[in-house]
Amino acid sequence: MARWEFEDLKASHVEQELTQRDQFNNDDVELAEALVREVIQNSTDAPAGTGVVKVRFAVVERTGEQARRIQDIFTGLRPHLRACEIDTAVLDRPTVRLLVVEDFNTKGLTGDPAALDEENFRNFWRRHGKSGKGGKSGGRWGLGKLVYSTSSQIRSFFGFTIRAGDPSALLMGQAVLSNHVLNSRRHPAHGFWFGARGNDDIQLPVTDVALVSQLAQLFGIARQGQTGLSLVIPFPNPDITEQGIIGGVVRNYYFPILAGRLAVEVGSITIDATTFHQVAASVPNTGAGAAGTKIPLDFVEVVSRQLDQQPLLTAQTAINGGGLGSSSFTEAQLAAMKEAFSANRLLHVRIPVRLKPKPSGDRNSHIDLFLKPAPDGEKPFALFARGSITVPGENRYFSGTHAHGAMVASDEGVVAFLGDAENPAHTAWNANAEKLAKAWRAPSQTLRHIRYALRELFTLIADKVEQEDRDALVDFFSLADLSRSTQGPKKKVKVVIPPLPKKETAIRIQSRKGGFSVVPGPAAENWEFPKTVDVRVAYDVIGGNGFSLHSKFDFDLAADEVNIEAQNLSFTPVRPNKLRLSIAGPEFDLTLSGFDENRDIVVDARTV
């Protein structure tokens, strides 16, 4: 009989609370977006062949007897939910909502369910914070699947899988709560819904054909014998909607979809290479995952078609100790690139990369760079992709240019290297990542050169392209007096700029060792108190907006990482990098210290 069980946590065991949920629902990536990224990344990691991987999202609702049957499944989980102070009222509603996520043309959760091997079944169900993935696989952290339980109001999910080489269906469930005490017994966060116990009391999935078939139909699973994985998220977070999922797909997986490698079905909407433009037209090109950037789909589509083609040329030297520069190309290559860019053609250049894996010798790999001038009226755009995953946090390394650019890493070596540098949400690369330092020699230098390669290529070819602008220097010369006759020499009129009174400031920002202070300026005496002031702080970034690119991994003002001293004011953290001050009088002082002294900080303070 299938049941919910949590192991006993012995007094000798160290309690480990889950603290990573906010990595999947924050200012950079919203929950629906994080779910989309994790699901599709895992699906594209395990293709069963060379065909198109298909992913299906469907919201299923059950009422009456069907709803009661689903509610009965959670009878054994209810006490644990209450012990963790999770609201169980949703279990008693007349309508049960389920979010079903399935992939097709994939291998499923391969491996022996009764063994602690290095295969996908164990990695998915029995590992947290550690992954067996490597090489070209999209995920490394073993934390990404936490988004499944996070997406459920009762922190649970089910997995139904048919594996390559094994036609039998397996069904299992998991709840990820918090450490808790129930009936004087201590339990860890993870619990299982399972069918039986194996050797060493390992939990085994439900395999009874009749029961699995009944529950698959009850859950709304569409799989009919095809290999792959079907996930069922009961009582999904209300913020996860079909429209939000469609937006997440369009913004994050436009690249493999337009390349014909991925198709996604959301409810009745199919998103593939033939329908993408139509679907994308109905979705705003903004959002947390897109950082508010409009995606030039024509450019992405051209890059997608070019992926399997030969580049215009390949650099003569590899990125290793040095970055990309004029010495990386011959004079003929530089001329060819400038000519292609000037003619508004897509430029495709391959850059060799020399990697230094531990403990073996050097390994040759490459990245592909694509450049095209941005059309008049359009903003710059950058695409950084590792395999099928776009990494939006890296776009800042191409900001400030007037071009559309793409850096695509598809070779196995560089994909493995960048994968070890990726954060759990797959949104940025970290030069100080533990896995990176463990697996590679001189990784931060190599990562820096890869990050800046697209910008350096643009600098090499774009600053040599001459463009005529007849009005470029108009502001440096005096103006002709058009009221006089146009006959004879033109006279000049001297423009006199009247002196402007110097504006007194009410807020002054003073630099301090490892931080800064916010103190009153002369105009603060004219304020009416109490006065509300917002203070934002971020690490400066090259060619980007440090405030919008801030990550709580840089620092979090709500935590104890930064020292805050306040006089004659109170403060409230409203974001990881923002404080709201309530100032009581004209003599005030706010001092923050403890920032990284090797990085520049930018501060903005203004009244509300």
Tens-place pLDDT, residues 312-355: 999 999 987 678 888 999 999 999 999 999 999 999 999 999 99
The answer to whether residues 218 and 248 belong to one domain is no
pLDDT of residue 27: 47
Residue 455, pLDDT above cutoff 80 = yes
Is 257 domain-assigned? Answer: yes
Is 477 domain-assigned? Answer: no
Is 493 domain-assigned? Answer: no
The last residue of a domain, from among 230, 262, 292: 292
Residue 289, pLDDT above cutoff 70 = no
The answer to whether residues 535 and 558 belong to one domain is yes
**Selection from 256, 248, 285, 246 nearest residue 389 by Cα:** 256
The last residue of a domain, from among 404, 431, 462: 462
The span from the CA of 516 to the CA of 602, in Å, is 10
Is 487 domain-assigned? Answer: no
Lowest-confidence region among 62-71, 87-96, 373-382: 373-382
Residue 255, pLDDT above cutoff 60 = yes
The answer to whether residues 427 and 394 belong to one domain is yes
Lowest-confidence region among 115-119, 463-467, 559-563: 463-467
pLDDT of residue 491: 56
Is 522 domain-assigned? Answer: yes
The answer to whether residues 439 and 539 belong to one domain is no
**Selection from 204, 208, 209, 5 nearest residue 113 by Cα:** 204
Question: 490: pLDDT confidence band, cut at 50, 70 and 90?
Answer: low
The answer to whether residues 252 and 162 belong to one domain is no
Question: 467: pLDDT confidence band, cut at 50, 70 and 90?
Answer: very low
| H or E stretch at 35 | helix 31-45
The span from the CA of 446 to the CA of 425, in Å, is 22
Residue 399, pLDDT above cutoff 60 = yes
The answer to whether residues 274 and 305 belong to one domain is no
pLDDT of residue 328: 93
Contacts of 578 by beta carbon, 8 Å cutoff, 6+ apart = 534, 535, 536, 537, 557
pLDDT (tens digit per residue) in 150-172? 999 999 999 999 998 899 999 99
The answer to whether residues 168 and 246 belong to one domain is no
The span from the CA of 335 to the CA of 161, in Å, is 55
Distance of CA 180 to the CA centre of its chain: 31
- Classify residue 522 as exposed, middle or buried by CB count within 10 Å of its CB (0-12, 13-18, 19+): exposed
**Selection from 101, 97, 92, 31 nearest residue 235 by Cα:** 97
Q: What mean pLDDT, rounded, does the chain reach?
A: 86
Mean pLDDT of 504-519: 88
The span from the CA of 232 to the CA of 97, in Å, is 10
Is 221 domain-assigned? Answer: yes
pLDDT of residue 64: 97
Supply φ then ψ for residue 427, to 5 degrees. -110, -15
The answer to whether residues 255 and 379 belong to one domain is no
The answer to whether residues 330 and 400 belong to one domain is yes
Percent of the chain with pLDDT over 90: 54
Is 324 domain-assigned? Answer: yes
How many domains, in total, are found in the chain?
A: 4
Q: Domain range holding 249?
A: 241-292
Residue 501, pLDDT above cutoff 90 = no
Question: 251: pLDDT confidence band, cut at 50, 70 and 90?
Answer: confident
Question: 308: pLDDT confidence band, cut at 50, 70 and 90?
Answer: confident
Contacts of 81 by beta carbon, 8 Å cutoff, 6+ apart = 88, 154, 155, 177
Residue 555, pLDDT above cutoff 70 = yes
Mean pLDDT of 358-362: 86
The answer to whether residues 248 and 198 belong to one domain is no
Task: Read off the CATH number of the domain in which 31 is found.
Answer: 3.30.565
Give CA torsion, residues 564, 566, 572, 574, to 10 deg. Answer: -50
The answer to whether residues 64 and 212 belong to one domain is yes
Helices marked H in 406-509 — which ranges? 412-421, 434-439, 443-462
Return the beta strands (E) in 139-271 as ranges.
156-163, 166-176, 180-182, 185-187, 190-194, 196-197, 203-204, 228-234, 262-266, 269-271
Percent of the chain with pLDDT over 70: 87
pLDDT of residue 139: 40
The answer to whether residues 12 and 53 belong to one domain is yes
Tell me the two tokens of residue 294: 């409009």
Is 469 domain-assigned? Answer: no
The last residue of a domain, from among 428, 447, 462: 462
The span from the CA of 467 to the CA of 37, in Å, is 41
